[in-house]
Amino acid sequence: MVKFVIALAFGLLSINWGASASAQGQEHIFYIQTKLNNAGFEAGEPDGIAGRRTLGALAEMGASMGFEATPEAMLSFFQKRYYRVAEPITNERNLAAVKRPLEDVLLDPYSAKYKDIVIMPTGNICGYVNAKNRFGAYVGYRRFFALSIFSNVFSDGDLHVFSAQVDGEDSNRAEYFCILDMDFSDRN
């Protein structure tokens, strides 16, 4: 009976802190730790585990920015910020520049449908793409993330996009990079 109660208690703890138990949860915490560190809140080496240092850094950032000290509240805070600071890309030449590196990562780039393409203050480009899989069926809109250099670096005034990534079933990396508006210094 005592073993059952102890096992039940540990089970409940893993439910409360379940984000660090699954692979998706570890990815979730990993990107939060990375953002905390690069924002000046020491969460320790990003490892995907919501330990004491991570929770302390989260509490500090939450107190200074006005959100509850939970991973979910932090993501919600940054998601709301995303919709305030994201600028739509409407110029056809710049849209073509965004789509070019996505051609390298999509199975059938000619079938791709795009929506909600924006540029973030860091120069990151985010949006959604729906393309066909090996069976010729559309997979549904998935978040993509692309790295760019602002046009003032080059004399032609165009957007220059260098690499792109599309979220799959096993990773939400693009989602985290977009919502948290991570820049080059945020990547390990």
Query: Looking at the chain, which runs of residues are DSSP E strands?
Result: 87-88, 108-119, 125-132, 142-149, 160-166
Q: Residue 138's pLDDT band (boundaries 50, 70, 90)?
A: very high
**Which of the 8 DSSP states describes residue 22?**
S
pLDDT above 80 (res 22): no
Tens-digit pLDDT profile for residues 160-186 = 888 888 998 888 888 888 888 765 444
Are residues 52 and 141 both part of a single domain?
A: no
**Taking all residues of the chain, what is their mean pLDDT, rounded to a whole number?**
81
Are residues 103 and 158 both part of a single domain?
A: yes
Please give the average per-residue pLDDT across 130-139, as a whole number: 94
pTM of the model: 0.75
Are residues 11 and 68 both part of a single domain?
A: yes
Are residues 16 and 61 both part of a single domain?
A: yes
Determine which helix (DSSP H) or strand (DSSP E) holds 25, and give its type and residue range.
helix 23-38
Are residues 78 and 116 both part of a single domain?
A: no
> Where is the domain boundary, 85, 101, 123?
85
Q: Are 18 and 27 in contact (CB under 8 A)?
A: no
> Where is the domain boundary, 60, 85, 110?
85
Are residues 76 and 12 both part of a single domain?
A: yes
Question: The domain containing residue 40 runs over which residues?
Answer: 2-85
How many angstroms separate the CA atoms of 92 and 95, rounded?
5
Query: How many distinct structural domains can be found in the chain?
Result: 2
Tens-digit pLDDT profile for residues 100-133 = 999 999 999 999 999 999 998 888 899 999 999 9
Q: Are 83 and 95 in contact (CB under 8 A)?
A: no
Are residues 37 and 9 both part of a single domain?
A: yes
Are residues 66 and 96 both part of a single domain?
A: no
Cβ partners under 8 Å of residue 97, min gap 6: 148, 158, 159, 160, 161
Closest CA to 161 of 182, 185, 144: 144
Strand partners, 114: 129
> Where is the domain boundary, 55, 85, 115?
85
Are residues 79 and 101 both part of a single domain?
A: no
Residue in this structure with the two tokens 């600071």, named with its chain if needed: 85
How many angstroms separate the CA atoms of 122 and 187, rounded?
13
Q: Are 143 and 174 in contact (CB under 8 A)?
A: yes
Q: Which residue has the higher pLDDT, 61 or 123?
A: 61
Compute the Cα dihedral for 98, 104, 109, 110 and give only its sign.
positive
pLDDT of residue 127: 96
Which backbone phi and psi does 46 adopt, to 5 degrees? Answer: -60, 120
